[in-house]
Structure 1
Amino acid sequence: MDLNKDIQYVKGIGPKRAQKLNKLNIFTLKDLLYYFPRQFEDRNNIKKIAQLENEDRATIKAIIVGSHTSSPRKGLNITKLDVRDETGYAKLVFFNQEYIKNAFKVGDTILVFGKVKKEFKNVELTSCEVEHLSNSPKSTCKIIPVYPLTYGVTNKEVSSIIKGVLNDKEINIKEYLPINILEKYKLCSIDYAVRNIHNPSSKEALKIALYRIVFEEFLMLQLGLFMFKNGVSEVDGIKFLENKKLEEIRSSLPFKLTKAQERALNEIIDDMNSNSAMNRLVQGDVGSGKTVVALLALSHCILNGYQGALMAPTEILAEQHYISLTETLKPFGVNVELLVGSLTKKNKEKVLERVKNKEIDILIGTHALIEDKVEFNNLGLVITDEQHRFGVRQRSKLSEKGENPDILVMTATPIPRTLALILYGDLDISIIDELPPGRQPIETIAVDKGKRDRAYNSLVRKEVEKGRQVYIVCPLVEESEAIEAKAATELVDELKSEYFSDLRVGLLHGKMKGSEKDSIMKSFKNKEIDILVSTTVIEVGVNVPNATLMIIENAERFGLAQLHQLRGRVGRGSHKSYCILIYASKSEVCRQRMSIMEETNDGFKISEKDLEIRGPGEFFGTRQHGLPELKVANIFKHMKILKLAQQEARIIFSKDSKLDNYENKGLKREIMNKFENIVKEISLN
């Protein structure tokens, strides 16, 4: 049967059911078969009533000993069945399910699956599924798939539709993985895997099916990324030439590059001087000096007569890059300009005209850079900072403004290399894993809310008396600049009236105009402000070496990676620096996270722990737009399988980089389908 068949024409579905399935993005038979459960409920283990624990979801076998119905209010009927087994009694509770009292009679032996509510000796089961005892139960004593759903679609419906389709003898899912891979990794067939994920015949069968799907998802994602990267690297790029003036610019810097910076810069220059277009990721911890490497890469581009572009996720970071690049490059006659959303229409038009006429060498900006109106004269290098906040599409859109310009991506979010291969699989990776000399580790102390007064009255004053400055980060309220701005303003009022009436307190938040932010940061840099209260706009890009103390309110509301980024705003000078994390939660997860921050300043360790505690969901919320979804595979939980799949992808790719060999044809077809969002950018044929 054709798996691309429209779902409404599949036997047993029809237009009405198809409409419901469309809500779940199921449009074809293949979409339906690959609509995998998000988890499984094991209803196999029958418990005795005496063994039930509060909040359990459990199966029991019992005899009905009584029933009664009540209507406490209009529109609500409650039916209760009294049941017992040899260990005790329980009540089964049903809301607006009056048919229950006719379907089941006193004396019937039943199987029940439900949620347990236990108070002392009183046991109730709610959300019950009940059936008469038989040799082939339908909804109990089984492993039940639990699907991701939408309003108006039930789990029972989805499960029943899929089972109905799989019972059709014409359904046979053809294998597409090469036979040698199936044998090498002891993988079951795709037909067996799909059938046993939706309707597991046993725990072992489910385990075998899941292993196959997880391996396949990782293998296809990794192979697809290798192919995409290969397609890009085969594109002819600009061949830049060595220029002695680059050494002059480098010598003008007030510091010497670290070995890690040298290594990353050499890899970038080698890429730029090759015939192929560069696609490289520079990954470095907070304060490792990625910006300097970007500055020298842009200088190399300009010295070869081309223009450069640097795209940052926020205006404040774009402005910071603009200031640091202008200070260094202006003496060498390099014109750097800023293009951000807050520019007036008149000023924006001036910038657009000048960049088109090549009067601007380096254009720095936010998303404004990828607007259609922006035309470069001869764009040679595109740099995106904090790439995970953009996507493959946005990067491509910016690079399309030149003829195969080189691409450099920077991130201060350290990601374990295995994960980086997934997140940034189309890029070569350079890692700056060394901090510049003189940078001291930041001492981090986590305290509960009860010690807040002490932190303010003692630590803050001590640092200000030494002539140092302090950041206080406002608690994260929600993703709304207006609400965060209000919270920050209220915090400033509280601090001024209760703690620091005699000190100079400043305020910085996302709702301020660019000019206001600049003015505040300038005052802070010039030591005209003692304490700067800020929202997370200071997470990246702000550099004040005299700031030695950071206090983060409600630290439990931030992710570990974000706490690490924020902490990186201090410790940028030669003075000893501190970070105080004030938390209100008493949960075990909060305690774990706070102690990790106290124990290490290593961003890579922190990101691994973050991933371990939170799981990959939030990590992959930042995934590049356009990549196929991992439906079953879990990056952290299935790390061993991920490594095996990556290893196999390398072997396949080294032998057949375009998957043109006969045994890889089916695999190639599946990868092309999965990567359809970005496949137009890949030349595979």
Structure 2
Amino acid sequence: MDRLSMSVQYVKGVGPKRAAKLRRIGIDTVEDLIYFFPRAYEDRRKFNNIYNSVDGEKASFNVRIAGHPTVLRPRRNLSILKIPIKDSTGIAYLIWFNQEYLADNFRIGEKIIVNGKVKKIANEIQIQNPVYEKEGSSNKKVGRIVPIYQLTENLTNNEMTSIVNNALKSYINNVKEILPRHIINKFNLMSVKEAILNIHFPQSRENFLRARQRLVFEELLTLQLGLFIIKNRTKSNNKGIKFVKSEDLNRFIEKLPFKLTKAQFRVLKEIEKDMESDEQMNRLVQGDVGSGKTVIAILAMFKAWKSGYQSVMMAPTEILATQHFETIKGMLDDYDISCELLVGSLSQNKKDEVLDKLEKGNIDILVGTHAIIQDTVKFNKLGLAITDEQHRFGVSQRAVLSQKGSNPDVLVMTATPIPRTLALILYGDLDISIIDELPPGRKAIETYAIGMNMEKRLTEFIKNQIKEGRQVYIVSPLIEESEILNIEACEELHKRFKNEIFKEFQVELLHGRMKAEEKEKIMNKFKDGEIDILVSTTVIEVGVNVPNSNIMVIYNAERFGLAQLHQLRGRVGRGEYQSYCILINEGKSKISQERMRIMQKTNDGFKISEKDLELRGPGEFFGTRQHGLPDLKIANLFTDIKILKIAQKEASEILSQDLYLSDKKYELMKNRIKCMFEGKTDNIIFN
């Protein structure tokens, strides 16, 4: 058995109890532990003297114990341990709160080195909650760069540091070099063993930077190779359908009750070019809320129909699928095109009827939910498969849909604005089109950031808008740590609004723990105007059209990222009425204030997504898991953009010479790619 695959409990200092704690942060094996990199570092090499210490700064000191410890008890449940220390420049005090047991650890005259935050209170210099080492100690907590790890309950950073150190001593020689020698030499990279040692316990800033560069490059190269292989496999295996050129499409566009924007025309031309070639189309259409993606999808379906092929569109929820079905049917009413809806709530008789007509070729366009990818759904001549709100579907679900026909063209749509560079990573197996322009005349949503002190004015404004016939979304505080707490906060808000503030109106609640049918029912009631105020967690359906709702209120807006705030704002502004987004912000930090400023300044989703990446990094930008993208252990897709571009170029060069990494020198890298994409690509790699 490979020693790195062993359970982490066999690492010195772990055992079954600590292993259970480590599992909570995703560490099951020795390898998981070795590749569990620090989230930050603290440089404890900077030594100061007591006289020159700066209030509020952390520093290390070489000192002697200068007197007996004292314990103060200013109030119940609080004890303060004070130990006097001195160096050649002055006297200070080590301070610990509720840790009086430490008093027995020190002797007068004993030499120690300490690191902690300096606090100057009146004429007294304190070093609060310091870490310390006695002279000659082998436990290096001071005088070095110390790694700071992500932790879990009842696991300290000191424990984690010690465990990692033990793992590296025992197992570092089992780590294999997956990069071929010629790549290591070409980019002058540190060896993988050196890199891992220096990423956990860097001897210097230079060593840390080289170690990080090595590990980031390896991770991004592996990722890029995997994505390119998926893309090549999809393209090379799949000779696509060659759809006919037709003037009828131009006549259809001319009859539309609105003009397409330049961006829509550009994207349509890209899709037409794909559809008229004999290669299978795999294209992502990205566009902000209201940019007109659905129209583009309908035009592609019209083109497929003119060539004698069926089309299918899959949406993540019944309400969204029904909305698309109604839009498509309405736009194609003047043509002899048969459209049907397939969703879970249909009666069995109706489902059977739809399935029968579909297989016989009597349905041209099918719209539905996940029900579409079931085995019982058989097409007569599927030519175009479309998925909407792609981030809600995995790569494998998209693959299953495309297998319903003989290499149909695939069109993927998303309203989540993602910067182009990041989109190339997230959707590495797709070509990308962007609709970066909104139709003319669309009113901008007026956005305001306010404090809780203005809540009374806000509620009066809401009441007046409802009396004028409008509807309102209110999103409850987001508590990241707990879905249950989210729901409790939401229920509390709902109760206050229903029974006190808005008791004359119809107020309903929506949250993620409700059954799908219950959520659908509430959203439909809101859509039909039977609900005035919908209090919700962040589960409000993406893309649902409620033209009459014109106010979005978000409590504790400081807890959300920009991308999510923008998505929530996009629930309103879909009708003829002026719409408003009210951000109730209680955050005092610079980043929080900056987020609110950006939201008030722009409605452009792409600018907002760029800023969100800049302010928070991609880790929080969205969960990578929902995009079917492997988790990255060290690379940051925003800050490591230069390394990413080098890795992309190198991956292209490697695959131009060896498309499926058949050469023995790539064997370990190939295994790493398989592990990285396991369960994410429906075994499309190397199968």
TM bucket normalised to smaller? 0.7 to 0.9
Q: Which amino acid aligns with 2:566?
A: H
Find the aligned partners of 1:144 and 1:553 in 2 and give their Cα distance: 38
Post-superposition Cα deviations, 1:427-460, rounded to whole Å, max 9, x if no partner, equal 1101111222322444434333444555565698
Task: Report the residue type matching 1:292 in the other structure.
Answer: V
Give the AA of the match of 1:518. Answer: N
Distance 1:393 1:54 in 2: 56
Partner of 2:585: 583
Distance 1:626 1:258, change over 3 A: closer
Cα drift, residue 222 of structure 1:
2.0
Could you say what the CA RMSD is over the residues aligned between the two structures, in angstroms? 4.3
Distance 1:56 1:14 in 2: 34
CA positional deviation for 1:51: 5.8
Equivalents in 2 of 1:422, 1:44: separation in Å? 38
Show the counterpart of 1:64.
65
Deviation by residue 1:624-672 (Cα, 9 ceiling, x = unmatched) = 4553321112223333333333344344444544344566555444333
What is the CA–CA distance in structure 1 between the aligned matches of 2:9 and 2:603, rounded to whole Å? 58
2:527 pairs, out of 521, 525, 530, with 521
Cα distance in 2 for residues equivalent to 1:680 and 1:636 = 28
Partner in structure 2 of residue 39 of structure 1: 40
1:412 is matched with 415
Contact 1:312/1:385 (8 A) holds in 2 = yes
Distance (Å, rounded) in 2 between the aligned partners of 1:172 and 1:615: 33
Choose which of 224, 227, 230 in structure 1 pairs with 2:226. Answer: 224
TM-score, length basis structure 2: 0.83
Does the 8 Å contact 2:392/2:627 carry over to 1? Answer: no
Amino acid at match of 1:234: S
Who is 2:318 aligned against? 315
Residue 611 of structure 2: SS of its match in structure 1? helix
Q: 1:291 to 1:183 in 2, by over 3 A?
A: same
Is the alpha carbon distance of 1:212 and 1:575 closer, same or farther for their aligned partners in structure 2, counting shifts above 3 Å?
same
1:429 counterpart = 2:435: no
TM superposition shift of 1:161: 4.4
Is residue 313 of structure 2 the alignment partner of residue 296 of structure 1?
Answer: no
Among candidates 238, 241, 250, match of residue 239 of structure 1: 241
Measured after TM superposition, the shift of residue 289 of structure 1 is 0.3
Structure 1 residues 508 and 22, CA, compared in 2 at 3 Å: closer, same or farther? closer
Deviations 1:7-59 (A, max 9, x none): 57989689759956973655555444323222222221223445666775543
User: Larger deviation: 467-476 or 619-628?
Assistant: 467-476
**Does the residue aligned with 2:332 lie in a helix, a strand or coil?**
helix
Report what 2:278 is aligned to. 275
Q: Secondary structure at the match of 1:171?
A: helix
Equivalent residue, structure 1, for 2:268: 265
List aligned pairs for 1:594-673, cutoff 5 A: 594-624=596-626, 626-660=628-662, 664=666, 666-673=668-675
Question: Deviation digits for residues 211-261 of structure 1, max 9, x if unmatched?
Answer: 211222222212221121111122225414226454565444322322221
Q: Work out the CA distance in 1 between the residues paired with 2:77 and 2:314.
A: 58
Q: Residues of 2 paired with 1:582 and 1:170: CA distance?
A: 50
Contact 1:7 1:26 in 2 (8 A): no
Deviation at 1:616, TM superposition (A): 1.9
Q: Distance in 2 between matches of 1:75 and 1:449?
A: 33
- 5+ residue gaps in structure 1? none
SS at match of 1:257: coil
Partners of 2:649 and 2:680 in 1: how far apart? 24
Deviation at 1:288, TM superposition (A): 0.8
Which runs of 5 or more residues in structure 2 are unaligned? Answer: none
Amino acid at match of 1:426: D
**Bigger shift: residues 644-653 or 37-46:** 644-653
Paired AA for residue 670 in structure 1: R
Please give the residue correspondences for 1:503-514 in structure 2 after superposition, counting only pairs within 5 Å.
Answer: 509=510, 514=520
1:208 corresponding residue in structure 2: 210
TM-score by length of 1: 0.83
**Separation of aligned partners in 1, 2:140 and 2:410:** 56
**Pairs aligned (count):** 672
Q: Per-residue CA shift, 1:47-78, capped at 9, x if unaligned? A: 34456667755433221133448799999999
Which residue is 2:179 aligned to? 177
- Gap change, CA 1:485 and 1:374, over 3 Å in 2: farther
Q: Are 2:21 and 2:153, in contact at CA under 8 Å, matched by a contact in 1? A: no
Asked if structure 2 preserves the Cα contact closer than 8 Å seen for 1:342 and 1:513, the reply is no
Q: Which residue of 2 aligns with 1:390?
A: 393
Q: CA deviation at 1:620?
A: 3.8
Q: Secondary structure at the match of 2:218?
A: helix
Q: 2:562 aligns with which of 543, 560, 563?
A: 560
Amino acid in the other structure paired with 2:46 = N
Q: What percent identity do the matched residue pairs reach?
A: 46
Q: Does the C-alpha gap of structure 1 residues 573 and 151 become closer, same or farther in structure 2, counting only changes over 3 Å?
A: closer
CA distance in 1, matches of 2:308, 2:420: 35
Partner of 2:6: 6
Matches of 1:233 and 1:301 in 2, distance apart?
Answer: 20
The whole-number CA distance in structure 1 between the counterparts of 2:17 and 2:197 is 21
Please give the secondary structure, in 1, of the residue aligned with 2:384: strand
- Alignment CA distance shift 1:91-1:396 (3 Å): same
Gap change, CA 1:333 and 1:489, over 3 Å in 2: farther
Q: 1:566 to 1:309 in 2, by over 3 A?
A: same
Q: Is the 8 A contact 2:226 2:685 kept in 1?
A: no
Query: Quick one: structure 1 residues 514 and 137, their matched pair in 2 at CA, closer, same or farther if it must change by over 3 Å?
Result: closer
Q: Which residue of 1 aligns with 2:90?
A: 87
2:643 aligned counterpart, secondary structure: helix
Pairs within 5 Å for 1:16-165: 19=19, 23=23, 25-26=26-27, 29-49=30-50, 58-68=59-69, 81-85=83-87, 86-93=89-96, 98=101, 104-114=106-116, 119-121=121-123, 128-134=130-136, 138-150=140-152, 154-165=156-167
